[in-house]
Structure 1
Amino acid sequence: MTTPAASVQLYTLATQFTDDMHGSLEKLAAIGLREVEAFRFVDEPQKIREALDATGMTAPTGHAPLLSDTLWTPDGSTPTPAPEVVFEAAATIGMSTVIDPFVDPERWRTEDGVADIAERLNKAAELATTFGLSVGYHNHAMEFVADFDGQSPYERFVSLTEDRVALELDLYWAMVGGQDVPALVSRLGDRLLAIHVKDGVSPGLNPWAPGAEDFSSASLDQRRPGEGDVPLVESLQAATNIAHAVIEYDHAPGDVFEDIAASYAFLRDGGFVR
C-alpha cells in the first residue's frame, strides 16, 4: 500500500478562493497542505497557476465536466467548455488528471446510458493523452440507484471503462448510496487514484432515489472526521494504491479552514497521509 498525499477540493472553500486565491492557499499551506484539487479552473488557469506557484502548492488533480453540456450542482447548473479547452487549462495549471465530477442522474438509470458514459470517458482519455493528461470520474450517489442484474450502475461503468480511466471515490456519497464502503474500496483496488474524505450523517434516503425530495448542499449534515457515519478508517485501510486523500465538504459544519484543519489532523495523526 502506498501512502497518499493530503489534498483539499477547492469547492470546499469556493467563495474564499474566488475572493482571495493567494490568501486562501496561504491558509491551506499553514495547515500543512501542499496539494489542492482544482474546481472551476478553466476560465483563469494562468492566475491559478501563479497563485499556486507563489504559495508552493500544486494541483495534480482537478474537477471539470467532460461528459455533459452543462454541469449540475445542488446549487445550480453551469455551461461546460469543450474538452480541448479543459485539457489546455489543466496543462497550464500543471495537472496530471482531470476528473469529471457529475453526470446527469437520468443517464445512470439505464444500461445504455451507463454504456454511453463509459464510452465517452474512454474517448476523452484518448484525447487527454495528447495534452499529457489522464482522466477520471468522481461519484455521488445517483450511480447506486438502479440495479442491473445485481450490479450497480457504478460498477457496470467501472467494468466498461479502460484501466487508464482513473477513479476517485467519494466515501460519503458512496455511503449515502447504500454501499459497504470499505468493501467497495477493496473491489476497486488499484483503479482508485484518489479518495474524497468527508464524514456526515446519512440523509436516510438516497437523494436521487425515486420519491426523494430536492436538496441543496446546505441541507446536508456533514461533519468532521469521526463525527458521522462514514467508515473512514476502514475505507482508508482498504485502499491499496491511492495517490491523493482529498479533503472535501459539500457543506462545511463551521469555519471552513478550521474544518479542513480537523480533517487534515485526522489524516496525519492516523498515518493515512505522508
Structure 2
Amino acid sequence: MTTRRSFLKSSALLSAGMLAAPNLMAAYKHKYIGLQLYTVRDAMQKDPLGTLARLAKLGYNSVEGATYTGDQKFYGMEPKAFAKVLKQNGQIMPSSHYRLGKEQINGESQKGTIMRDWDKAVDDADAVGVKYMVCAYLSPNERGNMDDYKVIADQLNKAGERCKQSGIQLCYHNHDFEFVAQGGQLPYDMLLATDKNLVKMELDLFWATKAGQDPIALFNKHPGRFPLWHVKDMDRTPPHMFTEVGNGTIDFKRIFKEANKAGLKYFFVEQDRTPGDPFISVTQSISYIKKNLI
C-alpha cells in the first residue's frame, strides 16, 4: 500500500532524476516524426496524394517540402489545396526547402527563391502553415570565397527579416563543403555570424559528421541555434554513403540526448539515395526511431 511518506519519497526521487538528466527527458518530448520529401521525390512527382497518404500510414505525421522553386506551387498544388491534403492525412509541414536563386536552371532564373519573388514564397509558406523556411543548398557557382559567403550571410539576414514579418523562421541547411576551411576560416562560421534571431540552422547530421564535425560540440558552442535536424545515417563502407537510420555509424542516441541544448523543434528523416524502394528504407528508419529515439 502506498503511504503519503512513500509517495513523497518516490516523487522526490523522480524529480531528482529529471534534474540530473534534463537532456534525456528532452529526447522524448517530440511527438512528430518527419520525413524530408526529397527521399521519395519520384513518388511525389508521380502521385503526391497517394504518397503522402502512404507516409501517414507509416507514421510520418510531419513532412518537409523539397520542391517549391519554379512553378511556385507545392507538388503541383496551390498552397491552400496542399494544406488541405496534409490536414486530411493528419500531417503538418512545419518546414520547407528553398534555394538562394543565384544559379540559373536551363539558362533561366528561378522564382520563389531568396533572391527572386521571396515575398510570394513567404506568403505561400504562411498559407500552408510552414514555420521554417530553409535555404537548402548552395550550388558550386553560388559559394565562392569568404567574401562571397559574407554576401550570402547578408542576404540570409534580409530574407530572415522578411520571414519574421510573417511569423516564420529562416534556417540554413548544411552539407559538408561549409566545413572546408578557406584561409583559416570555415564558411559555416561565417553563416553562423548571421543574426541568431533571424537565421537559425537545420543541422544535417550526416553531412556534419562526414565533414568531421561533432554535432554536440556545435550545440555547446551555439545553444538553441539548431531547431531543425536532418536525421540521416552513414553506412560502414569506405565511401561512407547514406543508409537507413540505425543501420550505420552515427550515434543518434547520444545526439538526441542533447535535443534541448540544440533547441530542437522538428527533425526529418532523409536518405538521398536508397538501395531499392525508398518506402522500404523509410519504413526501416521510422521503426528504429520509434523503438530507440522517441
- Shorter-chain TM-score tier: 0.7 to 0.9
Q: TM-score under structure 1 normalisation?
A: 0.82
Matched, 1:180 2:207: no
State whether residues 109 and 145 of structure 1, in contact with CA within 8 Å, keep that contact through their aligned partners in structure 2.
no
State whether residues 199 and 230 of structure 1, in contact with CA within 8 Å, keep that contact through their aligned partners in structure 2.
yes
Following the alignment from structure 1 to structure 2, what is the Cα–Cα distance between the partners of residues 246 and 113? 29
| Aligned position for 2:266 | 244
| Aligned position for 1:50 | 84
Please list the CA deviations of residues 138-160 of structure 1 after superposition, one character each: whole Å capped at 9, or x if unmatched: 011110112453x4211231123
Equivalent position amino acid for 2:258 in 1: A
Following the alignment from structure 1 to structure 2, what is the Cα–Cα distance between the partners of residues 48 and 92? 9
Compare 246-255 and 41-50 and name the one that shifted more: 41-50
Question: Where do 1:67-216 residues align within 5 Å?
Answer: 67-70=100-103, 79-81=110-112, 82-105=117-140, 107-149=142-184, 151-201=185-235
Compare 231-240 and 164-173 and name the one that shifted more: 231-240
State whether residues 181 and 231 of structure 1, in contact with CA within 8 Å, keep that contact through their aligned partners in structure 2.
no
| Aligned position for 2:278 | 256
1:78 Cα deviation from its structure 2 partner: 8.0
- Residue 63 of structure 2, aligned match among 36, 49, 57: 36
Following the alignment from structure 1 to structure 2, what is the Cα–Cα distance between the partners of residues 15 and 26? 15
Equivalent position amino acid for 2:256 in 1: L
Following the alignment from structure 2 to structure 1, what is the Cα–Cα distance between the partners of residues 287 and 183? 40
Q: After the TM superposition, which segments of 4 or more aligned residues of structure 1 sit over 6 Å from their partners? A: 202-205
Q: TM-score under structure 2 normalisation?
A: 0.77
Structure 1, unaligned runs of 5 or more = 206-219
Following the alignment from structure 1 to structure 2, what is the Cα–Cα distance between the partners of residues 57 and 13? 16
Please list the CA deviations of residues 225-265 of structure 1 after superposition, one character each: whole Å capped at 9, or x if unmatched: 23223332322223322011210011123321221122122
Structure having the higher strand fraction is 1
Indicate the SS of the match to 2:224.
Answer: helix
| Aligned position for 1:26 | 53
Following the alignment from structure 2 to structure 1, what is the Cα–Cα distance between the partners of residues 111 and 193? 27
Query: Aligned in 2, Cα 1:104/1:189: closer, same or farther, shift over 3 Å?
Result: same
Structure 2, unaligned runs of 5 or more = 1-22
Please list the CA deviations of residues 43-77 of structure 1 after superposition, one character each: whole Å capped at 9, or x if unmatched: 23333222212211110111112x323378xxxx9
Following the alignment from structure 2 to structure 1, what is the Cα–Cα distance between the partners of residues 175 and 162? 25
Compare 86-95 and 224-233 and name the one that shifted more: 224-233
| Aligned position for 1:268 | 290
Equivalent position amino acid for 1:79 in 2: Q
State whether residues 44 and 51 of structure 2, in contact with CA within 8 Å, keep that contact through their aligned partners in structure 1.
yes
Q: What is the percentage of aligned positions where both structures have the same residue?
A: 27
Following the alignment from structure 1 to structure 2, what is the Cα–Cα distance between the partners of residues 32 and 97? 21
Compare 25-34 and 253-262 and name the one that shifted more: 253-262
Aligned residues: 252
**Superposition RMSD in Å:** 2.5
Query: Aligned in 2, Cα 1:71/1:31: closer, same or farther, shift over 3 Å?
Result: farther
Following the alignment from structure 1 to structure 2, what is the Cα–Cα distance between the partners of residues 186 and 6? 24
State whether residues 136 and 166 of structure 1, in contact with CA within 8 Å, keep that contact through their aligned partners in structure 2.
yes
1:107 Cα deviation from its structure 2 partner: 4.9
- Residue 249 of structure 2, aligned match among 229, 251, 255: 229
1:133 Cα deviation from its structure 2 partner: 1.6
| Aligned position for 2:18 | none
Indicate the SS of the match to 1:250.
Answer: coil
1:96 Cα deviation from its structure 2 partner: 0.9
State whether residues 176 and 204 of structure 1, in contact with CA within 8 Å, keep that contact through their aligned partners in structure 2.
no
Following the alignment from structure 2 to structure 1, what is the Cα–Cα distance between the partners of residues 54 and 193? 40
Indicate the SS of the match to 1:230.
Answer: coil
1:202 Cα deviation from its structure 2 partner: 7.8
